[in-house]
Amino acid sequence: MQMPTVYLKPREEIRIRAGHPWIYDNEIARVAGSPEPGQEVAVLDASQAMVGCGFFSPASKIRVRIYSRAKARVPADKAFFVEAFASASAYRSRVLDPGTSCFRLAYGEADSLPGLIVDSFSGVSDSGPGRWLSVQFLGMGVERKKSLIVDALEESFSPNGIIERSDAPVRSMEGLEPSSALLRGEVPGSITIEENGCVFSIDLSAGQKTGWYLDQRDNRAAAARYARGSRVLDAFCNQGGFGINCLKGGASSVLALDSSPEALAAAALNARLNGFSERHSILEANAFDALRDLERTQEKFDLVILDPPAFAKSKQSVEPARRGYREINLRGMRLLKRGGILVTCSCSHWFDNTRFDAVLEEAAADCGRRFRILEERTQAKDHPIISGYAESRYLKCRILEML
């Protein structure tokens, strides 16, 4: 089948050639041919010079997602995906610490695989050791190529099983329904993985996202370095990753706070697996309410961790998100002893570094305190940040000492 062609309006190629992978509907002058949803298209600028190839999505304002910047038409066939996975794997081999057993293998547009997330988990199940892949197909292009992509993953990595977790709301913007299913092989109900010397039991079929938040792996290790002898509050604890890393680092106690009973049960199980149950307690509550209640009862901690879900999921939600981030950071700061450590995060691209840092300054001023910035951190290296593609830089993590 001949590849249809998308022609850009004058100067609309500048942002794309600078590295951005998305072409919006209002940037297109015309389309030659009748591309089907998810089909590959060639992209040409107004002078008819080749810009690249991408996946066409007529239901989305992001009309084309670039997967190749070659000067020729490149089909997204099995050979393309095998080569892309080899490149992504080679990069992780270079930048990850030796022995890192669980990592993001493919990070969508940042790996020239638009709309495709692949997380790799090596661990132990009741059947013994193995490697499993948890995959999200978030765009029409990779949805159309799903069977071919799974074939390429099997050929490239020989996993014990591949599970799909395409239940993210972003699929609706591409006209796609949520989808979760076992795609190949077998995936056990739970596997035990290792991270930073701790062990965690995770469920790839039921955990949030692809089963475990790999992007915070290095930040959890960083927080643990400040934990020795500390009373720790782990708010929005999810499955207990930050708190259990802190207990491994010598924390005297951890209070794990979350509104989800399932998350707290997982956190308690993970504390038990590491032999930390006596120093680990849980509190099921809305974090905003619980932080106020802890302040009202004059509780004090040596280390407070705030790792909330994304408050800003669109440009329109930035202002409500600002109020939410300000509130939790104000409460977290008030709960800290003088000299205490705040580890605070935001995982929303829309709430950028400038906004996040400004909120922290406001919160400190409102509670009459200052802070010393110990570390400014971002996502783990297996979630690469690409020039020209600001959306690839989403995770902010600040480690602050309250003065």
Give the active site residues: 347
Calpha distance 31→111 (Å, rounded)? 26
In the chain, the largest separation of any two C-alpha atoms, in whole Å, equals: 69
18: left (phi over 0), alpha (psi -120 to 50) or beta: alpha
State how far the Cα of 303 lies from the Cα of 400, in Å rounded to an integer.
Answer: 10
User: Cα(319)–Cα(304) distance, rounded to whole angstroms?
Assistant: 24
The residue length of the chain stands at 403
Residues 286, 392, 167: CA angle, nearest 5 degrees: 55
The H or E element spanning position 36 is: none
Asked whether 310 and 215 are in contact (CB, 8 A), the reply is no
Beta bridge partners of 122: 131
Q: How far apart are CA 54 and CA 40, in angstroms?
A: 6
Contact 235, 291 (CB under 8 A): yes
DSSP tag of 309: P
Token match 């930040």: residue? Answer: 219
For residue 127, give the 3-state DSSP assignment: coil
Beta strands in 263-316 (DSSP E): 280-284, 301-306
